[in-house]
Amino acid sequence: MRLMPAEESIPPTRYQAVTGSTPQLGLNMHPRWVGDGQPEDFLLPLKKLGLSVLEFRADLSSPEWPDVCSLIEECRRLGFELAFHAPYTGPYSATGFSGADRDRIERLYRPAIEYAARMAEQAGSTILVLHGAKGDRPRQELRRDTEAFVAWILEETSGLCPCIELLVRGQDTVKIGDNKVELVEIVSELGSPRVGICWDLGHDVRNGLLAAPPGFRALVRHVQFTCTISLPTDKIIARFSSEQCPTRTICVNSAKLDTGGQSSSRWVAISWRGSRP
């Protein structure tokens, strides 16, 4: 992919609002993005460009959660819709869910699932991105873990829409969802219109950007892309040419913010969100 160099000017038309389209433009949100300012100072200019959904990682065990929770309420007040990403680092994993570890994994994930479900009860259908099981076990066993984990979320909630993320293939670790064919099979076998695929374009590129199998795009309901480029603060959105956007109908952008020539720890990850047909 050709990224626009930082010194190039971005045409003014690049900042026109997104209108007349069913998918919704979203942002992976965190209190660090706001810094010492107010949420509206950071978000309202983006809202004018078409931003309507904010995605949060629902990790209630994180020491940052009180700040995240407060920011979620403020974002709701500002009129944004919500999406969530289930925690996936540290002890969080669906591995073993179809076996003896099910009770332990349920207890671990239940606070996050219940919180996201409460938000969905108030707001309607809500995306919940999640990772499939991974480890050194046989792939079929890990696949059963993943399918049982998603089925549990469907049973426990009525408003959450689980989306299994396309992951990067590992050299020594089996990851469920590290290829598109497997995602199509799992989502199809689960047989619920609430379940979909999270198409991570960055992961797809790292996997070689292989052709999508039949039925893949019809099952996608959440698309995300994160890249690592430095831009001046007045150039928050990086540009990708339509010829290099894999779907030609979804162009997702992100940027690492640069403040006054010094690298910032704030990361912007833009996602494009839409419903399955």
- Give me the domains of the chain, ranges plus CATH numbers: 22-224 (3.20.20.150)
Model pLDDT for residues 136-186, shown as the tens digit of each residue: 999 999 999 999 999 999 999 999 999 999 999 999 999 999 999 999 999
Name, in order, each residue with C-beta under 8 angstroms of 55's C-beta and a sequence gap of 6 or more. Answer: 26, 27, 28, 29, 82, 83, 84, 85, 127, 129, 224, 271
Helices (H), the chain: 31-34, 39-48, 65-77, 102-123, 139-156, 180-190, 201-206, 216-219
Which pairs with CB-CB distance under 8 Å and at least 24 residues apart come from 72-77? 72/119, 74/39, 75/29, 75/39, 75/43, 76/123
120-142: average pLDDT: 96
3-state class (DSSP) for residue 45: helix
How many angstroms separate the CA atoms of 127 and 120, rounded? 9
Model pLDDT for residues 77-97, shown as the tens digit of each residue: 999 999 999 999 999 999 999
Tokens of 78: 């500002």
Model pLDDT for residues 219-242, shown as the tens digit of each residue: 999 888 765 433 333 333 333 323
Selected residue with higher pLDDT from 256 and 44: 44
Q: How far apart are the first and last CA of the chain?
A: 29
How many angstroms separate the CA atoms of 142 and 196, rounded? 18
Model confidence at 273, pLDDT cuts 50, 70, 90, reads: low
Residue 253 Cα distances to 14, 17, 272, angstroms? 12, 14, 9
Model confidence at 22, pLDDT cuts 50, 70, 90, reads: low
Residue carrying the six token digits 């990851």: 175
Q: For a pLDDT cut of 90, what percent of the chain falls above it?
A: 64
Whether the predicted model's global pTM rises above the 0.85 cut: no
